[in-house]
Amino acid sequence: MKKTSLSYPLILSLHGLIALLVFIIPFASKIIALLIPLIGFYFVYKNKNKNNEVLLVSAYLIGIEVFLRMTGGNFNNEYVKFIIVFFMLYGMILSNFSISAFVYWFFLILLVPGVLIAFTSSNFDTDVKKILVFNLSGPICLAISAIYTFKRRILFVDLQRIIVTMGLPIMTTTIYLFLYNPSVKDVVTGTQSNFETSGGFGPNQVSTILGLGMFIFFTQLVLFSKSKKEILLNGFLFLFVSYRAVVTFSRGGVITAVIMIIFLLFLLYYFSNAKGRSKFTLVFLLTGLMTVGIWYYSSLQTGGLIDKRYANEDAIGRTKKDKIGGREVIMDTEIKFFLDNPVLGIGAGMGKEMRKESFGLEAASHNEITRMLAEHGLFGILGLLILLITPFVLYIDNRQHLYFLSFYIFWLLTINHAAMRTAAPAFIYALTLLSVQVKLPEKAENSVD
């Protein structure tokens, strides 16, 4: 992949200006939502996807999705997922795909029985097509992305370029949050997830994308900062994104980011030589100091309420009965649906409707695993096994993929607390399947096994 001619600080500044533009002129968000796929298509078409340009475009879409939804730019909630599916299919036409990826075509086939059950079991008042799009757009986006990335060769530095491309619009989101709510002290009154500090949008989704941003800028800081200026810049970006992630009061994205970073540090330490390991003392110390600093400042700004939030307490210090925001109730109903319908399930997307009829609880699932069990039954189990096992089978011969465990854990934890509301877990999962090498042999970078 060719390096951009613009400097890293300049590109970051331009993304800060995008946040300011949309804050002043909200309609600009819709224009941006239209321009990105158009410019992206031209970018891919011009280069014939010789350097995996579809991954760069898709990464940018992942990074900006929450910002567009937050500011009213998305034309519907599944807009980015469908565009990514288009780019992945276009990339396959231009650059082929691995025959071994048939396992993910099989995953798509496993979704069909659930679709048929949904059409036969729904009542006339239910918009089945809308429900299916909402519940299956994520799995379809994951499968198509996985087919494209399956064993596709890529350099580690090019993978990092993809990751940074994702991080740029996440910085736009972070700056917009600051413009929307410059004073956290003024809006935090309890320990529940906070919409004000989340730009008026869903804290869970904002926390998820900011948590991904934490990981991205941490990798930039630890692995790609070659000068003091770069260390200071990337250190500031990591601290800034981390602080805004913490004060959403949505724990999922932050906890996921911390675990991603721990796994990355573990792999870096494990594969380092004796000289490299000696330097990790400084890395661990720096990481620890930044973590303490972020938490202390967040606690100060929230009057200690953030400490109670992570201790699962309310504003006056009483322990809450539910530990995961009431999601356990939804999960319990889905497990019951599965036990009652273990083979075919209740039908794709039927969970919300049946919960309302059976328990009077009108809520969509936040857990993709229990949703797959309830709505797809035995076929859901087979689908989940494919998703859980396949990346590790590839990893056996893919040890240079230093981000593998971090990406895998992001997907796994995110689908457990935020389902597949956004395209991020689908795309990040697909990145675990890339064949990453520090230096490629003479074969073309864009080739697949």
pLDDT at 4: 44
**Percent of the residues in the chain that have a pLDDT greater than 90, as a whole number:** 70
Q: Is residue 327 scored above 90 in pLDDT?
A: no
Q: Is residue 449 scored above 70 in pLDDT?
A: no
pLDDT at 448: 65
Q: Is residue 89 scored above 90 in pLDDT?
A: yes
Report d(CA 389, CA 290) in Å as an integer.
35
pLDDT digits (tens, 9 = 90+) for 28-46: 999 999 999 999 999 999 9
pLDDT digits (tens, 9 = 90+) for 260-313: 999 999 998 888 777 777 777 788 888 999 999 999 999 999 999 999 999 888
pLDDT at 129: 81
pLDDT at 265: 93
pLDDT at 319: 81
The structure tokens listed for 152 are 């596709």
pLDDT digits (tens, 9 = 90+) for 135-145: 899 999 999 99
Report d(CA 347, CA 334) in Å as an integer.
12
The whole-chain average pLDDT of the chain stands at: 90
pLDDT digits (tens, 9 = 90+) for 151-199: 999 999 999 999 999 999 999 999 999 999 998 988 988 888 889 999 9
Q: How confident is the model at residue 446 (pLDDT cuts 50, 70, 90)?
A: low
Q: What does the pLDDT average to over 230-241? A: 95
pLDDT digits (tens, 9 = 90+) for 44-85: 999 999 999 999 999 999 999 999 999 999 988 899 999 999
Cα 377 from chain centroid (whole Å): 26
Q: What pTM, to 2 d.p., does this model score? A: 0.93
246 contacts: CB under 8 Å, gap ≥ 6: 254, 294, 295, 298, 306
* Other Cβ atoms within 10 Å of 25 Cβ, number: 10
